Amino acid sequence: MISAICKLDSKLNAEVENILFEIAPSNWSIAKNRKTKISTLSGNFNNIVEATDASLLLQSYIGKKVDFIFKELSEGSWKNAYRHHFKVWRYKNFVFVPFWEKEGLRLKDGEQAIFIDPAMAFGTGTHETTRLCLQFLIDYFSNYNNPVGSLIDIGCGSGILAITAKLLGFSKVHGIDNDRDAIENSLLNAKNNGLESKIVFQKEDLNSLTLYTYGCVVANIQSDILLEYSDKIINSVDKTSGVLILSGILNYEIEDVTKHFQKLLNERKLKFSLNKDEKGEWAAILINLNK
């Protein structure tokens, strides 16, 4: 196993993070030293040829020369490298916990733990896009509604959103992703939370959305995909009482995405309310068709 590593200039950090989100899931990750504030970009690959090719491809996305060094890793070190980037974090009464820290975890009264082992999949809740989705889900369905209906998580990654939805009370939860590794990881995380028989995870693409409608649709994917498949996404939402949560949107894209979905909803003569939220360089939209 070969690791490709480079130090990131502070000016490139946000740009590279955005690129990694756009191409997720991938072998790449960014770690920032809290003391030195220096960020390190790294990726683990089967051999030097794969590592070199992947480095050159990522460099072409960045558009600038990035100096990588290549190191050979033992099996144990590369399998567990991602664990350094995921720590326990809380939002309201939900506690998102790395699975390897389950032993010895102490919860406060009323707290609900969700155990996640992200492996190579996207989704620990630490990235702004995932956290925005989680906050919309928890805020909306904990405070205002009883989520007894159905939910689909489009681009489920690690399964963290689908698992949270099930624990919020949704009776039917479905997660799809076009990456087989993501589905396997979602299934593992469902099992880690005792939900292996209560959530359906399947390798599917967005064309499958025409088959069913859901009370809530969560799509944490790139904005260009949101726009390309916007008709199918809207068609998958229950038109009388549905909620649509969209994320994976950069701040400078939020107005275009909002206007696009508003236009489609208006063309269908649907009544709706719309809320937006931002974290860092990222944004999310919640559309409520209950109005």
- Residue 258 neighbours by CB distance under 10 Å: 17
CA–CA gap between residue 270 and residue 290 (Å, rounded)? 10
Mean pLDDT score, 219-224? 91
Q: What whole-number percentage of the chain has pLDDT above 70?
A: 88
Alpha-carbon gap, residue 107 to 245, rounded angstroms: 29
Spatial contact of 180 and 113, defined as CB atoms under 8 Å apart = no
Q: Is the pLDDT of residue 159 over 70?
A: yes
Q: What letters, b where the CB count within 10 A reaches 16 and e where it falls short, cover 103-121? A: eeeeeeeeeeebbbbbbbb
In CATH, the number for domain 122-288 is 3.40.50.150
pLDDT at 142 over 60: yes
> For 161-208, how does the pLDDT look when each residue is reduced to its tens digit (9 = 90+)?
999 999 999 999 999 998 888 899 999 999 999 999 999 999 998 887
Tokens of 194: 């005792």
Tell me if the domain spanning 2-84 has CATH number 3.30.70.100.
yes
DSSP code per residue over the chain: -EEEEEEEPHHHHHHHHHHHHHH-S-SEEEEE-TTT--EEEEEEESSHHHHHHHHHHHHHHHTS----EEEE--HHHHHTGGGGG---EEETTEEEEEGGG-TT----TT-EEEEE--TTSS-SS-SHHHHHHHHHHHHHHHHT----SEEEEES-TTSHHHHHHHHHT-SEEEEEES-HHHHHHHHHHHHHTT-TTTEEEEE--GGGGGS--BSEEEEES-HHHHHHTHHHHHHTB-TTT-EEEEEEEEGGGHHHHHHHHHHHHHHTT---EEEEEEETTEEEEEEETT-
Task: Please report the pLDDT score of residue 291 as a whole number.
Answer: 59
- pLDDT band, very low/low/confident/very high, at 31 (cuts 50, 70, 90): confident
pLDDT band at residue 33, thresholds of 50, 70 and 90?
Answer: low
Output 214 or 1, whichever has higher pLDDT: 214
Instruction: Give span(s): CATH 3.40.50.150, the chain.
Output: 122-288
Among 72-81, 114-123, 160-169, 187-196, which is the least confidently predicted range? 72-81
Higher pLDDT, 85 or 52: 52
Residue 87 pLDDT: 75
Highest-scoring range by mean pLDDT, 61-75, 102-116, 158-172: 158-172
pLDDT at res. 150:
94
Q: What is the pLDDT of residue 122?
A: 53
The CA distances from residue 234 to 110, 130, 228, 249, in Å, are 35, 20, 12, 17
What band does 86 get if pLDDT is binned at 50, 70 and 90?
A: low
Q: What is the mean pLDDT of residues 19-25?
A: 76
Q: What is the pLDDT of residue 267?
A: 95
- Start-end ranges of CATH 3.30.70.100 in the chain? 2-84
- Residue 25: asked if its preceding bond is cis (omega within 30°), the reply is yes
User: Mean pLDDT score of the chain, rounded to an integer?
Assistant: 86
Strand 39-45 relative to strand 2-8, pairing: antiparallel
Query: Does residue 203 contact residue 176 with C-beta atoms inside 8 Å?
Result: yes
Can you give the pLDDT at residue 200? Answer: 96
Strand partners, 10: none
Report the pLDDT value the prediction gives residue 102, as an integer from 0 to 100. 80
Write down the residue that tokens 């209950």 correspond to: 290
Of the ranges 116-120, 168-172, 240-244, 248-252, which one carries the lowest mean pLDDT score?
A: 116-120
Bin 280: left if φ > 0, else alpha if -120 < ψ < 50, else beta: left
**pLDDT given for residue 162 in this prediction:** 97
Predicted pLDDT of residue 118: 72
Give mean pLDDT, residues 122-147.
Answer: 79
Say whether pLDDT at 75 is over 70: no
Name the band, by pLDDT with cuts 50, 70 and 90, for residue 78.
very low
Within 10 A of 85 (CB to CB), how many other CB atoms are there? 15
